[in-house]
Amino acid sequence: MRVFKGKRTTVYQLNSGKFALDGGAMFGVVPKVLWNRLIPSDDLNRIPMATHPLLVKTPKGWVLIESGLGTGWDEKFHKIYDVAEEDPFMDTPIGRDEVSLIVQTHLHFDHAGELSTPDGLFRYNAPVVVQNMEWADARFPHERSRASYVQERLNAIEGKLRLVSGTAEVWDGIYVAKTGGHTRGHQIVLIRDLDRLFVFTGDLLPTQHHSPLPYVMGYDLFPEEMLFARKYWYDLFIREKALLFTPHDRIPFAGEMYIDERGKHRLREITPDGD
């Protein structure tokens, strides 16, 4: 667990399980000769990934930004995704009961799986913020999105939701903004402190290696929309010197965006203020 401090808020970067996904699908139209240099694949063409939710301490209470992959997955699932389960609340200063609000970028299993137990029990006592459109699409998936939404786990959050549309302040200083691209209702989460802007990028920027604009995932349902969303948000990230938290780096990552001498968007790693 890594700690980042603002004047009013403290951000804990958690570990909620490791897994692996097909490298080609993760890098879309980028050829393997290029992406394999950034993240080498295993003999099944999978690249190592993980899930890193944020636990945010604010003057008003504790907010969880995503829950991650979590635990309790079956054997078949372990095999396909090379899962190594981790309990995100292992070494946190609080337990799940003290979380007052949960904010999800979207509801794919690697982002929302931990919210519930395998037999469909909600693990928290807090509302879950998600885009209205994301909830509807999660509950009525189509052939291409079905494998990403695990209905048995989603059953547990029915009735616990706080549905939003577009951009909204969901907690003092914590905002969500719908980006689309990955899913129709995908959103990012912005935490505005007095001296710092923290951003949980969700799948707008899945790993530190995805920062170049065309490095859009094959998993994205609307890749062109994702490109346009990135153009808008990247400008803001640079202008505001935002501290960006990526969800899926195998080793947890936080960094600031800049444009290099060749005009490419890159990330400069920022070291945590503590462990």
Stretch that binds Zn ion, among 110-118, 144-152, 187-195, 265-273 (CB under 5 A): 110-118
Tokens at 42, concatenated: 């295993």
Question: Which residue number, 16 or 58, has a Cβ lying nearer to Zn ion?
Answer: 16
Per rule CB under 5 A, count of chain residues that contact Zn ion: 2
Whats the size of the chain, residue-wise? 275
Spatial neighbors of 273 by CB under 8 A, at least 6 apart, are 3, 4, 5
Lay out the site mask for Zn ion across 29-48 (x = CB under 5 A, - = otherwise). Answer: --------------------
Question: Which residue number, 5 or 250, has a Cβ lying nearer to Zn ion?
Answer: 250
8 A C-beta contact, residue 114 and residue 68: yes
In the complex, minimum distance from the CB of residue 108 to Zn ion, in angstroms, rounded to a whole number: 6
User: How much helix, strand and coil, in percent to the nearest 5, is found in the chain?
Assistant: 25, 30, 45
Distance separating alpha carbons of residues 156 and 39, to the nearest angstrom:
35
Please pick, from the candidates 66, 86, 137, 203, the single residue that binds Zn ion as defined by CB under 5 A.
203
8 A C-beta contact, residue 86 and residue 15: yes
Q: Is 66 in the site for Zn ion (CB under 5 A)?
A: no
In the complex, minimum distance from the CB of residue 246 to Zn ion, in angstroms, rounded to a whole number: 10
In the complex, minimum distance from the CB of residue 51 to Zn ion, in angstroms, rounded to a whole number: 8
Residue in 92, 71, 48, 36 with CA at minimum distance from that of residue 251: 48
Residue with the closest Cβ to Zn ion?
203
In the complex, minimum distance from the CB of residue 229 to Zn ion, in angstroms, rounded to a whole number: 15
Q: Where does this chain bind Zn ion (CB under 5 A)?
A: 110, 203
